[in-house]
Amino acid sequence: MGTPAIKIGTGIRTVAVGALLIYMGSAVLLAAQTPSVRKPGTNPKAGNASAIKEGASLFRANCSPCHGLSAKGGGRGPDLTTGYFAHGSSDKEIFNTITQGVPGTDMPANTFEDSETWALIAYIRSRSANAGPRVLPGDAAKGKMIFLGAGNCAQCHMVNGAGGRLGPDLSRVGAARSAAYLKESVREPDKELSNGMLDPNRFYGLPMLYEKVTVVTNSGETIVGVPRNEDTFSIQLLDQDERLRFLLKKDLKEVREERKSLMPAYTEDMLSATELQDLVAYLASLGRK
């Protein structure tokens, strides 16, 4: 009776060891067949003419709404032709910026194939291949004095925690917008309104704009400000005295969203061409390492 028991036990151990060897062999085979997910540190498509052409097509279709058709920047993205990249200038860092996005900015994560991302980087590099050190006309130190003083910019705009809240925070505007866009925004602030807060009640919608909103209450009070939130029954405004106003729509006669900025257009009578250059030089320096 004892011998069969020994044979049964040996058989169990043999089966167990055999299964383990099969499992280990499968794991080794699987590991050998699974490609590495590690990304190269440099662009394998750098300088490749067909890749640059592919990247240009991808850029126009996906990136130009923010960065402009020629990659020179727009209302929501910086100029990519200067050779300066705020979140890292190596191929690997640009790859991560494109694929992972940048939290707290308008730059989203993207789901391009790796080969498409490298083609995009090849195109972007081709646009900045001859870029030298960026030198803007104007004196940034004088521009800062205009911002804080005669221009009254700090009354509505915050930089590094100091200033007003009616307009966009400009702490990193130099890294996020092109110099041409900054100049245009000073002269023609209504042309392209900046994005404000994302309204939590507009699911999948665009962020609210820094636009002028005027409401008239049933009692005849007129309130002008910028929107902070709105739903079917109420609206919240930051008025011109930076007071947050919560208003029920049943108490309002009128709500006018004017698609205009509260910021005045700084004509040459208000800000000379030289002063504008100084101011843009200062703004362009903000947020740049």
Percent of the chain with pLDDT over 70: 80
Beta sheet of 244-248, edge-to-edge order: 244-248, 234-239, 222-230, 213-217, 252-257
Tokens standing for 209?
Answer: 């704009």
Statement: the pTM of the whole predicted model exceeds 0.85: no
Task: Give tens-digit pLDDT for 124-176.
Answer: 999 987 765 567 889 999 999 999 999 999 999 999 999 999 999 999 898 88
Long-range contacts of the stretch 3-6 (C-beta < 8 A, 24+): none
Q: Residue 86 — very low, low, confident or very high, per pLDDT cuts 50/70/90? A: confident
Tokens standing for 53?
Answer: 């052409």
Q: Residue 278 — very low, low, confident or very high, per pLDDT cuts 50/70/90? A: very high
The pLDDT of residue 8? 35
The alpha carbon dihedral of 68, 74, 77, 83 has a sign of: positive
Separation of alpha carbons 160 and 164, rounded Å: 11
Separation of alpha carbons 77 and 177, rounded Å: 6
Task: Give tens-digit pLDDT for 207-251.
Answer: 567 889 999 999 999 999 999 888 889 999 999 999 999 999 999
Which among 1, 124, 129 is positioned nearest to 73, based on CA atoms?
Answer: 124
What the chain holds in terms of domains, given with CATH numbers, is: 49-127 (1.10.760.10), 140-187+265-285 (1.10.760.10), 190-262 (2.30.30.100)
Q: Which residues of 251-275 are buried (b: 16+ CB within 10 A; e: fewer)?
A: ebeeeeeeeebbbeebeeeebeeeb
The pLDDT of residue 132? 59
Residue for token pair 């990304």? 39
Query: Is pLDDT above 80 for 181?
Result: yes
- Report the phi/psi class of residue 93: left, alpha or beta, with left for phi > 0 and alpha for psi in -120 to 50: alpha
